[in-house]
Copies of this chain bind each other. A is one copy, B any other.
Amino acid sequence: MAKQNTVFKEAFNRCLKLLAETATLPSEPELGTVLGVSRTTIRAILTRLEELKLITWDKRAKAVLRQPEPADYYPAEETDSLSDIIERSFMRRILAGGAEPGMQINELELARDIGTGTTSVREFLIRFSRFGLIEKRPNSHWILKGFTREFALELTEVREMFELRSAHSFVALPEDHPAWAELSRIEALHHEILGDIDRRYREFSELDERFHRLLHKSSSNRFIVDFYDIIAIVFHYHYQWNKANARERNARALEEHLAYIAALRGRDPVKAEDACRRHLRSARETLLQSIQ
């Protein structure tokens, strides 16, 4: 196959959900906007819906025949984009497996392992290299620099510089800036999760990213904003493979966030900086502890 039709399958599944909710379908361009795909894909979806006798379709007349059933959906494995599959597979190898720093990474072997072409693996590695975990020897292999203590320290050093700067920008944001409303929503979610921490502590990871991205965004600096991608990917996989004491860790982080949010609200740069430092110090400790 030249290209996998994951865009179609994933959009098809979302279209089924839409159908279950609304029981009616808008025009092709409108559907395209809603699902975020081109009209070509929309027409492929409509064709498939017709084949499955979910709808009848003739020009702009679209009649729903029946509600979608679980069997109508494409299985989840088929809707993941190739680059997601490669990323997951690669991260498992270097974070979970016993991957030693200095190890060679071989495009061909990776591709065979994952069952994909070399081009996609190669492009993934190029994209991934900006995270500073691998390095290319031209005309030869890649070198794994490893998820080491040094890496974590270098990462957090920059993170602290960037987030302090962002926190300063944040408190200077005008009263009516939408970030304040978003901050309130985030704060409310913190209280919700803390109120039912035993059951909901796993939601922290996502909320954490949402909170810190909001802060970084207020720097209005693409390099600072983009740097959060590195932090996010590290923490994302780190949380997945390090579940020890997750409940306590997350509860503490949530409390720290609340103090941090309160300080931001107070518009006091010094207090905000203080809360920021305190939280980042403890985040760094958590990360370092998990490494060895």
Q: Which residues of A are at the interface with B, using a C-beta cutoff of 8 A?
A: 7, 119, 122-123, 126-127, 130, 132, 139, 145, 151, 154-155, 157-158, 161, 165, 220-224, 226-227, 230
Contacts and interface: CB of A to CB of B under 8 A. Distances in A.
28 contacts: A7-B139, A119-B119, A122-B123, A123-B123, A123-B126, A126-B126, A126-B127, A130-B130, A130-B226, A132-B222, A132-B223, A132-B226, A145-B222, A151-B222, A154-B220, A154-B221, A154-B222, A154-B223, A155-B223, A157-B221, A157-B223, A158-B221, A158-B223, A158-B224, A161-B161, A161-B165, A223-B227, A223-B230
Q: Among A119, A127, A223, A226, which residue has the most Cβ atoms of chain B within 10 A?
A: A223
Nearest to A122: B123
A123 B124 CA distance: 10
Contacts of A221: 154, 157-158
Nearest to A226: B132
A266 to B, nearest CB: 25
Contacts of A126: 123, 126-127
User: How many copies of this chain are found per oligomer?
Assistant: 2
Given A119-B119, A154-B220, 11 more contacts: A123-B123, A123-B126, A130-B130, A132-B223, A132-B226, A154-B221, A154-B222, A154-B223, A157-B223, A158-B221, A161-B165
A135 to B, nearest CB: 9
Contacts of A122: 123
Contacts of A230: 223
A7 B137 CA distance: 14
Contacts of A222: 132, 145, 151, 154
A66 B130 CA distance: 48
A161 to B, nearest CB: 6
